[in-house]
Amino acid sequence: MTSTKPRTSTRTEVLESRPVNLDGFVEEWPEKGLVAMESDFDPAPSVRVEDGRIVELDGKARADFDFMDTFIANHAIDVASAEECTAIPSVDIARMLIDPGVSRGQVLAVTRGLTPAKILDVVKLMNVVEIMQAMQKMRARRTPANQGHSTSARDNPVQVAVDAAEGALRGFAELETTLGVVRYAPLVAIALQVGGQVGRGGVLTQCALEEATELELGMRGITAYAETISIYGTESVFVDGDDTPWSKAFLASAYASRGIKMRFTSGTGSEVQMGNAEGKSMLYLEIRCILMAKGAGVQGLQNGSISCIGVPGAVPGGIRAVAAENLVASMVDLECASGNDQSFSHSSMRRTARLMPQLLPGTDFVCSGYSAVPNADNMFAGSNFDTEDYDDWNTIQRDLQVDGGLRHVREAEVLQVRNKAARALQALFAHLDLPPITDDEVEAATYADSSNDYPLRDVLSDLKGAQSVMERGITGLDLVRGLETTGFHDVAESLLSVLRQRVSGDLLQTSAVLTADFTPLSAINDVNDYAGPGTGYRLAGERWEELKKLRHVTSATNPETEVG
């Protein structure tokens, strides 16, 4: 065939080959909900209260409520102030959000009475800079933090432990894991817990699994909190998953009954992805999720599109909507673990830009899963950032003088905690009569990058061992005892201190994390007091000195050497 293709410019070829063109983009289709946050098909705000009960919500009479409306009307909106607050012009509320003269508390007094459509109406008025400005004030905890993923493509518990240790050392306040082979879960969850405490005492850990097992591991004290309890913005998607807002609330109370920290998960795009957006914009549906979480009484929410990021990422203004959903979680006084946790783009530039609305103002957890392992080992299908990006991240923190929760750590320290984590796990496995970890594995783990760098484990024995952990009823206290008897006194002490928190219940407070001296830091004792320039969290003092360090910084005293 002699084709007569029109000649293309060399520049077009260069542009065509840029990674960003491997990403997918689609046109909006508001009738079907394939639209970020500006849709003519979203309802107009309205609320009417009769006899202390909301009888009309966003243009719908109570008789026409679906179960989301019912749940939100009954549990999420402050009936006493609803009519008054919703009557405030949206532009006034938007201005309150960015006005340093209006305190966070004053804003919360208004947002607690707002309907979903009203909240959407407010954030629709804000551009990304305003959203960031509002986030800076509305974030619940004063001190921002970050969360890491520690997983292994081979579910190798040794790798999970040492990468957890390194991650904790680098600054993650929470660590999350999940599995390829689910039956491995008990061993990997133990590894994460032990590794995390070696890296930095007080790190909180979780293991994402189906809900029953996740709860059991939490109740046994093998994990410290839970996050992957998914909620959706339409009744039909909820029903497809055999769930209701009430069943999720029930699960939440099961955690609370044991003093275990937990948050829900939701995000823009999930409903339209499943074809059941009911013609509403992604952000409107996400606001319904946020209020449902609020109504269920959980302290926090992981949002920011999460696993559906490809959907808002492909429509105009989608990343603005994602920033807005994080803000809405914070402005209704929920802890916000703000996404940035799934492979988002082929383009590094776009990956970084997507992060800015969370990194610059700071959120409770800037990433709800920065991959603390190479992305090939990330069993959450890859994160927006991984171990390769550590130095870039640290440099961006230093450039912009913002705290993204991480820091540069010298190799000697990294090797030391990795080695110790591997040895602690080795000793604990031997003590608990679990499949042995060899000295070769400890050695490999100390210096490894990815799961390919480790000797293969005997999967059969591991799975039997994992099963025996469940059958023998091993709990967090058994881990403490094992670490103590095998000479890892400090690790045992740290883990015990973490477990003790479930008795005091302090981690049930909004945005709670544990500091290295086991002080719970939450919206109660570390409340965000931002009130304009010079106030709130400032990157200064010791922490700023820490973040000035990078792998290579030329010494000013002796330019022939490097500091750090």
Partner 1 sequence: MTTVDPGRSPARLVVGVDIGNSTTEACLASIGPDGSITYLATDLTRTTGVKGTPDNTAGALTAVRGALERAGRRVGEVHTVLLNEATPVISGLAMETITETIITESTMIGHNPATPGGEGLGVGTTVPVGALPEQAPGQPVVCVVPAGADFDDVAAAVNAAVRRGVDVVAAVLAGDDAVLVTNRLDRPIPVVDEVAAVERVPLGMLAAVEVAAPGRTIRTLSNSYGLATVFELDPAQTRQVSPVARALTGNRSAVVVRTPTGDVTDRRIPVGELVLRGAGKTLRVDVDAGAEAIMDTVARVQPLDDAHGEPGTHVGGMLAQVRDTMADVMDVAGQPDVPVSEIAIRDVLAVDTFVPAEVRGGLAGEVALENAVALAAMVRTSRSRMQLVADLVSEQLGAAAEIGGVEGEMAVGGALTTPGVDRPVAVLDLGGGSTDAALLTREGECTAVHVAGAGELVTKLIDSELALDDRETAESVKRFPLAKVESFFHVRHEDGTVQFSDQPLPPHVFARVVVLTPDGPAPVPTWHGLDHVRRVRREAKRRVFVVNALRALRQVAPGANLRALDFVVLLGGSALDFEIPDLIADALAPHGVVCGTGNVLGTEGPRNAVASGLVRAHAAVLAEGARCPAS
Partner 2 sequence: MTTATTPERTLTLREIGPAGRGTRPDEVVIAVSPAFAGHFTKTIVDVPHAEVLRQVLAGIEEQGVTARVIQVFDTADLAAISHGGAKLSGSGIAVGILSRGTTMIHQKDLPRLSNLELFPQSPLLDPAVFRMIGSNAAQYAKGESPQPVPTRNDQMARPRWQAKAALLHLKEFECIQAGRPAVEVEPVFGRVGSRRLG
Residues acting as catalytic residues: 147, 149, 176, 227, 302, 341, 368
Min CB(269)–partner 2 separation in Å: 8
Encoded one letter per residue, x for contact with partner 1 by CB under 8 A and - for no contact, window 417-446 reads -------------xx-x-------------
- Hey, is 418 helix, strand or coil? helix
Residue 23 in contact with partner 2, rule: CB under 8 A: yes
Cα–Cα distance list, 414 to 94, 300, 408, 447, 506 (Å): 45, 32, 10, 9, 31
Between 171 and 310, CB nearer to partner 2: 310
Min CB(113)–partner 2 separation in Å: 34
Q: Which region, judged by CB under 8 A, interacts with partner 2, from 9-17, 272-280, 445-453, 540-548? A: 272-280
Q: Which region, judged by CB under 8 A, interacts with partner 2, from 26-34, 132-140, 456-464, 474-482? A: 26-34
Closest CA to 179 of 210, 204, 201: 210
Encoded one letter per residue, x for contact with partner 2 by CB under 8 A and - for no contact, window 348-387 reads ---------------------------x--x--xx-----
Contacts 24+ apart (CB under 8 A), 445-448: 445/158, 445/159, 445/161, 445/162, 445/418, 445/419, 445/421, 446/162, 446/415, 446/418, 446/419, 446/422, 447/415, 447/418, 448/159, 448/162
Handedness of CA 199, 205, 208, 214 (dihedral sign): positive
Residue 269 in contact with partner 2, rule: CB under 8 A: yes
Footprint of partner 2 on 289-328 (CB under 8 A): 307-311, 313-315
Please report which helix (H) or strand (E) contains residue 56, including its range. Answer: strand 53-57
Which residue in the set 109, 219, 314, 459 belongs to the binding site for partner 1 (CB under 8 A)?
A: 459
Question: What residues does 229 pair with on adjacent strands?
Answer: 264
Contact predicate 363/139, CB 8 Å = yes
Between 430 and 531, CB nearer to partner 1: 430
Residue 212 in contact with partner 1, rule: CB under 8 A: no
**Contacted by 463, from partner 1, partner 2, none: CB < 5 to 8 Å by type:** partner 1
For 329, phi then psi, to 5°, come to -60, -45
- Hey, is 77 helix, strand or coil? coil
Contact predicate 142/536, CB 8 Å = yes
Contact predicate 468/434, CB 8 Å = yes
Question: What residues does 20 pair with on adjacent strands?
Answer: none
Q: Which region, judged by CB under 8 A, interacts with partner 2, from 24-32, 59-67, 485-493, 545-553? A: 24-32
For 50, phi then psi, to 5°, come to -130, 135
Between 240 and 439, CB nearer to partner 1: 439
What distance in Å separates the CA atoms of residue 157 and residue 190, rounded to the nearest whole number?
8
Burial (0-12, 13-18, 19+ Cβ within 10 Å), 527: middle
Residue 4 in contact with partner 2, rule: CB under 8 A: no
Q: Quote the radius of gyration of the chain (alpha carbons, Å).
A: 24
**Contacted by 344, from partner 1, partner 2, none: CB < 5 to 8 Å by type:** partner 2
Q: How many CB atoms lie within 10 A of CB 257?
A: 9
Amino acid at the residue 364: D
What distance in Å separates the CA atoms of residue 218 and residue 561, rounded to the nearest whole number?
49
Chain-centroid distance of CA 311 in Å reads: 18
Between 485 and 525, CB nearer to partner 1: 485
Which residue in the set 59, 89, 105, 275 belongs to the binding site for partner 2 (CB under 8 A)?
A: 275
Question: Which DSSP category does 74 fall into?
Answer: I
**Contacted by 433, from partner 1, partner 2, none: CB < 5 to 8 Å by type:** partner 1
Residue 412 in contact with partner 1, rule: CB under 8 A: no
Q: How many binding residues for partner 2 (CB under 8 A)? A: 30
Min CB(472)–partner 1 separation in Å: 10
Q: Which region, judged by CB under 8 A, interacts with partner 1, from 80-88, 331-339, 457-465, 514-522? A: 457-465
Which residue in the set 22, 61, 400, 540 belongs to the binding site for partner 2 (CB under 8 A)?
A: 22
Binding site for partner 1 (CB under 8 A): 430-431, 433, 458-460, 463
Contacts with partner 2 by CB under 8 A lie at 1, 22-26, 29, 32, 34, 269, 272-273, 275, 307-311, 313-315, 342-346, 375, 378, 381-382
